[in-house]
């Protein structure tokens, strides 16, 4: 008896991660999620159109693969407590929809909440964790985003560990995205239980603002970027900080979208598109589908970048990459163009955390501009030019 109690305690305090879960999200997950563009106005036709667009646009070929339905897909629980899809919006049912997504060579994701209700007021998973995990596995769910509304009295670590354990028990490997808004510093405890954790409250489609909703706030691109300070030591293959889903194509200027996407790549952030892929402009697609920028994000080392320099509105960020390369982002936070005259010979970028150093006096590097696709010579000559307001210059340097 005593042995059984001890064994149970051991099981609850140690992660049961494994069974294929530890092989997922070695690089930051890439996909699409319904929330930023559609909020609760989601249905199966819209979801199928996103899957079609992800394949047809070339995004699938670039690595995007998860089609995730966020809040409001839920109907009621049946008499045995099994969750049902909303019958009006998803008349074919989730299994059929998952099959459709899989038939496109993509993967299927859903959203739930650790509390009694989701943020949108639909049934949450509290008290139904194992049953819901089983249902998701039967439907063919490959990705679960798990939110934190209506969780009075719950400990975050306990609630996320419970759902993690439930998913492992159900047996189908699932990318587990923990959406607790950074409130209990999940970066310190979440890695054994899931693959990504939100570090902040919700993003909003604005480059530099805070929107006050009364009881909560949503955050602009720069505000979220600033909240990532100090978190890079917690990220790496299989476990990533999540600064929230992308707002590319949701109303910011092209420069702002480009800067947003570049900085998410510098952060090794999950690249979860949040726009309507079925109607996006070719300019939006060109941003989401820039393969060289995606390659910075998806670098196998999974090192989160850091702010190397700040002068006025101009910041220089660095992200060490595999093969001895490094990505540098010159980010202009201001609204007017910022001149650049960056003499590489005067810089040695040292990253104590990843133990990498880029001393341009000691080693010559070639310089490539990832947005224009142009080679800009080498680090023997200073980088001269200007970065527009709310825009970025994103470079990849390669040691010769
Ligand atoms: C929370 C999450 C969002 C979204 C909504 C859905 O606010 O942080 O990303 O999932 O709930 O209601």
Are the C-beta atoms of residues 167 and 200 closer than 8 Å to each other? no
Among the listed residues 132, 142, 202, 299, the single catalytic one is 202
Of 88, 101, 85, the C-alpha closest to 140 is 101
Among the listed residues 71, 113, 142, 147, the single catalytic one is 147
Query: Separation of 145 CA from ligand 1 center, angstroms?
Result: 9
**What SS3 state is found at 69?**
coil
Burial of 312 per CB tally in 10 Å (0-12, 13-18, 19+): exposed
Please report, for residues 31, 203, 265, 271, 339, the alpha-carbon distance to residue 243 in angstroms, rounded to integers and kept in the order given. 15, 8, 11, 10, 29
The dihedral formed by the CA atoms of 20, 25, 26 and 29, expressed in degrees to the nearest 10: 160
Catalytic site includes residue 202: yes
Q: By alpha-carbon position, which residue is closest to atom 1 of ligand 1?
A: 119
Q: Pocket around ligand 1: residues whose beta carbon is below 6 Å from it?
A: 35, 70-71, 111, 118-120, 147, 179, 202
* pLDDT reported for residue 18: 81
Mutational pocket test of ligand 1: of 179, 181, 200, 217, the residue with most ligand atoms within 8 Å of the beta carbon: 179
Of 123, 270, 284, the C-alpha closest to 194 is 270
Q: Which atom of ligand 1 lies nearest, measured to the CA of 216? A: 7
Query: Separation of 147 CA from ligand 1 center, angstroms?
Result: 7
Catalytic site includes residue 147: yes
Per-residue pLDDT of the chain (400 residues; tens, 9 = 90+): 444 444 444 444 567 678 889 999 999 999 999 999 999 999 999 999 999 999 999 999 999 999 999 999 999 999 999 999 999 999 999 999 999 999 999 999 999 999 999 999 999 999 999 999 999 999 999 999 999 999 999 999 999 999 999 999 999 999 999 999 999 999 999 999 999 999 999 999 999 999 999 999 999 999 999 999 999 999 999 999 999 999 999 999 999 999 999 999 999 999 999 999 999 999 999 999 999 999 999 999 999 999 999 999 999 999 999 999 999 999 999 999 999 999 999 999 999 999 999 999 999 999 999 999 999 999 999 999 999 999 999 999 999 9
* pLDDT reported for residue 17: 78
Helices 129-139 and 156-170 sit at what angle, rounded to 10 degrees? 40
What is the rounded CA–CA span in Å between residue 384 and residue 393?
11
* pLDDT reported for residue 133: 98
Q: Which residues contact 234 (CB under 8 A, 6 or more apart)?
A: 187, 188, 191, 241
Q: Which two tokens stand for residue 177?
A: 């995205």
What is the rounded CA–CA span in Å between residue 297 and residue 279?
25
* pLDDT reported for residue 14: 64
Query: Separation of 332 CA from ligand 1 center, angstroms?
Result: 29
* pLDDT reported for residue 5: 43
Q: By alpha-carbon position, which residue is closest to atom 4 of ligand 1?
A: 35
Please report, for residues 11, 89, 116, 132, 169, the alpha-carbon distance to residue 84 in angstroms, rounded to integers and kept in the order given. 30, 12, 16, 10, 21
Query: Separation of 124 CA from ligand 1 center, angstroms?
Result: 13
* Maximum separation of any 2 CA atoms in the chain, in Å: 74
């Amino acid at each position: 008896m005593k042995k059984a109690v001890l064994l149970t305690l051991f099981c609850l305090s140690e992660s049961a991660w494994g069974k294929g879960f530890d092989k997922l999200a070695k690089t930051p997950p890439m996909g699409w999620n319904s929330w930023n563009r559609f909020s609760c106005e989601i249905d199966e036709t819209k979801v199928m159109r996103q899957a079609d667009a992800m394949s047809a646009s070339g995004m699938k070929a670039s690595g995007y693969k998860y089609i995730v339905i966020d809040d409001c897909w839920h109907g009621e629980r049946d008499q045995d407590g099994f969750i049902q899809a909303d019958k009006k919006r998803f008349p074919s049912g989730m299994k059929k929809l998952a099959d459709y997504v899989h038939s496109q060579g993509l993967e299927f994701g859903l959203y739930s909440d650790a509390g009694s209700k989701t943020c949108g007021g639909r049934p949450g998973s509290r008290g139904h964790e194992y049953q819901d995990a089983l249902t998701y596995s039967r439907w063919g769910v490959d990705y679960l985003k798990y939110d934190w509304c209506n969780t009075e009295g719950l400990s975050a670590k306990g609630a996320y560990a419970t759902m993690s354990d439930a998913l492992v028990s159900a047996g189908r490997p699932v990318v587990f995205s923990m959406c607790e808004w950074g409130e209990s510093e999940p970066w310190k405890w979440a890695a054994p239980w899931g693959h990504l954790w939100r570090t902040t409250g919700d993003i909003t489609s604005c480059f530099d603002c805070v929107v006050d909703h009364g009881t909560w706030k949503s955050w602009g691109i720069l505000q979220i970027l600033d909240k990532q300070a100090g978190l890079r030591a917690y990220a790496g293959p299989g476990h990533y900080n999540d600064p929230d889903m992308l707002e590319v194509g949701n109303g910011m200027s092209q420069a702002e979208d480009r800067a947003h996407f570049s900085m998410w790549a510098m952060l090794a952030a999950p690249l979860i598109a949040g726009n309507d892929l079925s109607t996006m402009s070719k300019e939006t697609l060109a941003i989401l589908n820039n393969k060289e920028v995606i390659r910075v994000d998806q670098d196998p080392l999974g090192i989160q970048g850091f702010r190397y320099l700040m002068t006025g509105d101009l910041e220089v960020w660095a992200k060490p990459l595999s093969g001895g390369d490094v990505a540098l982002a010159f980010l202009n936070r201001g609204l007017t163009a910022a001149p650049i005259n960056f003499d590489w010979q005067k810089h040695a970028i040292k990253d104590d955390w990843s133990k990498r150093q880029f001393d341009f006096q000691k080693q010559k590097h070639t310089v490539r501009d990832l947005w224009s696709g142009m080679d800009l010579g080498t680090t023997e000559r200073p980088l001269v030019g200007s970065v527009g307001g709310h825009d970025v210059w994103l470079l990849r340097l390669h040691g010769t």
